[in-house]
Amino acid sequence: MIFRLPGRPALAAATLHADAFSSRRRNLGIGEIITGLLRKDAAVYLLAGDLNLDLDLDKRRDLFTDDEHLDVETYNFLATRLADVTRGTGSTAEPDRRLDYIFCSEEGVEILGRGPLRGRRRGAMDHDPVLADLRLR
pLDDT tens track for 39-81: 999 999 999 999 988 776 555 555 545 565 678 888 888 999 9
Domain 13-136 has CATH 2.40.50.100: no
Q: Which of 104, 106, 97, 59 is nearest to 116 (CA)?
A: 97
Element (H, E) at 68: helix 68-79
What is the reported pLDDT for 61?
52
DSSP notation for 24-40: HHHHHHHHHHHHHHHTS
pLDDT tens track for 13-27: 999 999 988 888 888
pTM: 0.85
Query: Could you state, in order of their start, the residue ranges of all structural domains in the chain?
Result: 13-136
